[in-house]
């Protein structure tokens, strides 16, 4: 398990099975998950100074992560 905060398991507790099922069934959803993980990793690397970035860029990354989280939540609600 990763020590990166804001993993999908943390953000959507108890829903990992549904996420995996939807990921397998919907290539677009799988792409959103991939982008979420990538953006989340970029934020983590910026926060830990592994790959420092400007404050503006970090803010934009956080906004993108939130938008992706909203997309994931919407897809999970529609699939319910």
Q: At what angle are helices 55-79 and 16-25 packed, to 10 degrees? A: 90
Q: Note the pLDDT of residue 79.
A: 84
Q: Residue 3: what pLDDT?
A: 66
pLDDT of residue 1: 36
pTM, full prediction: 0.91
Six token digits for residue 2: 């990763």
For 1, what's the count of Cα atoms within 13 Å in the CB-facing half-sphere? Answer: 7
Asked whether the beta carbons of 33 and 8 are under 8 A apart, the reply is yes
Residue with tokens 């992706």: 68
pLDDT digits (tens, 9 = 90+) for 16-39: 999 999 999 999 999 999 999 999
pLDDT averaged per 10 residues in sequence order, the chain, 80 residues: 78 95 97 97 94 96 98 93
DSSP state of 6: S
């Amino acid at each position: 398990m990763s020590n990166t905060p804001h993993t999908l398991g943390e953000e959507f507790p108890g829903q990992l099975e549904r996420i995996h099922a939807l990921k397998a069934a919907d290539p677009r959803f799988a792409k959103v998950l991939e982008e979420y993980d990538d953006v989340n990793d970029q934020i983590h690397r910026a926060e830990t100074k592994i790959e420092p970035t400007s404050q503006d860029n970090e803010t934009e990354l956080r906004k993108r992560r939130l938008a992706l989280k909203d997309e994931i939540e919407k897809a999970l609600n529609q699939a319910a």
